[in-house]
Amino acid sequence: MSPAVSRTDDPSSELSVPSAPGEILLELVDDHGVTIGTGEKLWAHQQPGRLHRAFSVFLFDRQGRLLLQRRALGKYHSPGVWSNTCCGHPYPGEQPFVAAARRTTEELGAAPALLCEAGTVRYDLPDEASGLIEREWNHLFVGLVTAELEPDPEEIEDTRFVTAAELRALRAEKPFSVWFETVFEAALPGIREIAGNDW
């Protein structure tokens, strides 16, 4: 058995990892999104990848523009690329909605004024630049942001509000995260409820 996982006494879970100082643990899930244990974050993203729970947030301003972030250059995974408003992983046992609101506030310095569930999407997406893989059961959220942003520079290099047309132009010019297209397309029905059919 890999040193990154071990058995647990919890009957609802097949895998568990003892917590070590500085380690970040993710929830491992089965093909139905049911939690089966925990795994260390980097290990879960290394080939062949371990399916784990994640979330992606798409926030809009009052004009219906999408808030994008450019990931900080110091991040080990997908540094310097554009992506959706916020994405991350719930702590083991943390509800995805709670994690999405928490992490958005931590990264952007502004809590969502509105946050709604927009479904889930499962994917296996290798990132050629890093050699890592995104093998995720992703919970999608859409909402509004009205407060002034104070991005955490360790997480975010830049932010930008864009219209649908501006997003298309930016995607033609700049690199985006490997997961962006997949989560964006999956979230579109919810996005249109929040921001209108121009999206």
**pLDDT tens string 91-130:** 999 999 999 999 999 999 999 999 999 999 999 999 888 8
**17 touches 42 (CB < 8 A):** no
77 is in an annotated binding site: no
Question: Is 134 marked as a binding-site residue?
Answer: yes
Please give the model's pTM, rounded to 2 decimal places: 0.89
pLDDT at 6: 33
Mean pLDDT, residues 52-59: 98
Asked if residue 106 belongs to a known ligand binding site, the reply is no
Identify the structural domains of the chain with CATH numbers, from first to last. Answer: 54-116+141-195 (3.90.79.10)
Determine which one of 136, 154, 155, 166 is catalytic: 136
CA distance 156 to 96: 21
For residue 156, the model assigns a pLDDT of 98
Which residue in the block uniquely carries the two structure tokens 């540094």? Answer: 79
Q: What is the mean pLDDT of the chain?
A: 90
87 labelled catalytic: yes
Residue 68 clears pLDDT 50, i.e. is over it: yes
Catalytic residue among 27, 40, 86, 87: 87
Cβ atoms of 53 and 27 closer than 8 Å: yes
Please indicate whether residue 106 is annotated as part of the active site. Answer: no
193 has binding-site annotation: no
The DSSP code for 108 is H
Beta bridge partners of 140: 56
Task: Return the structure tokens found at 153.
Answer: 């520079």
Whether 136 shows a pLDDT value over 60: the answer reads yes
Average of pLDDT values for 57-67? 98
Which of these, 30, 33, 35, 32, lies nearest to 13 by C-alpha position?
Answer: 35
Residue 181 scores a pLDDT above 70: yes
In this predicted structure, the answer to whether residue 12 has a pLDDT above a threshold of 50 is no
Question: What pLDDT is recorded for position 130?
Answer: 84
Question: Helix (H, G, I), strand (E, B), or coil: what is residue 156?
Answer: strand
